[in-house]
């Protein structure tokens, strides 16, 4: 068994740390500014799954949204059976629940909120280490093995060190909804040219498949779940699905898409 605490403590080796800027909204959701940059998105060892991407700067919540923060706007939410505490990430949320929370945040707080795109999430999760397959390096066999643990529940958010961008809980906490959907799986990216701020949606809107990124607290035996390029497709709410938010001062095309794509 792998120790969650040990894994999280080894999230990212030190890289040149940017000067971090923060903002906290009235619900207590804290955001950090992620500067612009370029990176190779996806599995760098599979050309048809990897493409060069340019990302504009954006504000991303430093942790997954917690129960307390979610219930600031959705007081009747039933907490997940594994996440009863205020400071644990909210779980048992569907894709549409995450979108609705973003919309409520916009209405109540005046700024614009949405889910991150898969590209934004992965860029931020890498923390500047674009040359690594995993948070601890490039070798699957270097997956950190620690003492046994029987506490297979999420920790309170921000219990372990952040990456170089000031982000916590990108692995071993919850899988996180992103704005893209399963349409991305049908695209062959081999020899793809540089794209800026990509978003991949099924344009005929006949699918309700959402996409999650990251890995959850009980996923310790599946090493590729810890890769920033890992993704999973689902239609359901789940005990280990949560989300984090992007905030902007002005509306963007992503903000608008966030609220018209799945109008359920």
Residue spans per domain, the chain = 4-260
**C-alpha to C-alpha distance for 1 and 147, rounded to whole angstroms:** 7
Per residue in 168-177, pLDDT tens? 988 778 889 9
Report pTM: 0.85
* Averaged pLDDT, 115-133: 87
Q: What pLDDT, in 10s, does the model give residues 51-98?
A: 889 999 999 999 999 999 999 999 999 999 999 999 999 999 988 899
Q: At what angle do helices 95-109 and 253-260 cross, to 10 degrees?
A: 120
- pLDDT exceeds cutoff 90 at 205: no
Q: Which has the closest alpha carbon to 172: 10, 1, 7?
A: 7
Which phi-psi region, left, alpha or beta, contains residue 127 (left: φ > 0; alpha: ψ -120 to 50)?
A: left
Residue 200, phi then psi, degrees to nearest 5? -115, 110
CATH architecture of residue range(s) 4-260: Alpha-Beta Complex (3.90)
pLDDT band for position 113 (cuts 50, 70, 90): very high
DSSP symbols for 186-221: G---TTPPPEES-----TT-----EEEES-BTT-TT
Q: Give residue 131's pLDDT.
A: 75
The mean per-residue pLDDT over the stretch 94-118 comes to 91
């Amino acid at each position: 068994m792998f120790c969650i605490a040990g894994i999280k403590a080894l999230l990212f080796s030190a890289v040149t740390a940017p000067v971090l800027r923060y903002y906290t909204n009235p619900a207590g959701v804290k955001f950090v500014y992620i500067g612009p940059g370029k990176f190779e998105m996806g599995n760098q060892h599979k050309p048809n799954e990897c493409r060069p991407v340019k990302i504009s700067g954006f504000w991303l919540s430093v942790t997954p949204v917690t129960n307390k923060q979610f219930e600031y706007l959705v007081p009747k939410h039933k907490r997940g059976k594994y996440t009863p505490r205020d400071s644990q990430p909210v779980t048992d949320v569907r894709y549409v629940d995450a979108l609705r929370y973003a919309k409520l945040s916009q209405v109540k707080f005046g700024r614009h909120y949405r889910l991150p795109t898969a590209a934004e999430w992965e860029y931020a999760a890498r923390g500047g280490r674009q040359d690594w397959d995993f948070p601890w390096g490039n070798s699957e066999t270097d997956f950190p093995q620690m003492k046994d643990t029987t506490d297979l529940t999420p920790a309170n958010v921000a219990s372990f060190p952040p990456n170089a961008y000031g982000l916590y809980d990108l692995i071993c906490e919850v899988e996180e909804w992103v704005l893209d959907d399963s349409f991305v799986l049908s695209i062959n990216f081999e020899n793809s040219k540089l794209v800026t701020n990509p978003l991949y949606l099924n344009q005929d809107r006949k699918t309700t498949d959402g996409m999650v990124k990251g890995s959850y607290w009980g996923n310790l035996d599946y090493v590729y779940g810890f890769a920033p390029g890992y993704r999973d497709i689902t239609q359901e709410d789940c005990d280990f699905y949560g989300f984090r938010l992007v905030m902007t001062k002005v509306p963007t095309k992503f903000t608008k898409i966030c609220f018209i794509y799945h109008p359920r």
